[in-house]
Structure 1
């Protein structure tokens, strides 16, 4: 896609880094997940990074689910 404009790229495509700073990658039951902390030991799944299709069918690892990690 080509945009013919005099506007700087930062205005057209703003980079909101603060949202990504709250996320981190964890291994939960052998599955790589991108999570965002909601409480002290509670995390909400943002993205499933697994390459196994069976992990996507398991609703326990679906985005939006809450998992609890030990200290």
Structure 2
């Protein structure tokens, strides 16, 4: 079976739900992304979900970026 999706394999077939408690899908500046809440209350970008190639060239949305 072939799935044509911008989501990663781990998002479609999660291993366990225990490790995903701090992760959530949010919209930030009009872009959808998966983020993880850190201990200080900020959010770390895990994955950008977009069909626009220009979004992936923007340094603001690199994985690992801290969002306030």
Alpha-carbon RMSD across the aligned residues, in angstroms, is 1.0
Distance (Å, rounded) in 1 between the aligned partners of 2:20 and 2:57: 26
Question: Offset at 1:50?
Answer: 1.2
- Gap runs ≥5 in structure 1: 1-14
- Residue 61 of structure 1: aligned partner: 61
Runs of 4+ that moved beyond 4 A: none
CA distance in 1, matches of 2:28, 2:52: 14
**Could you say which structure has the larger radius of gyration?**
1
> How many corresponding residue pairs?
53
TM-score scaled by structure 2?
A: 0.70
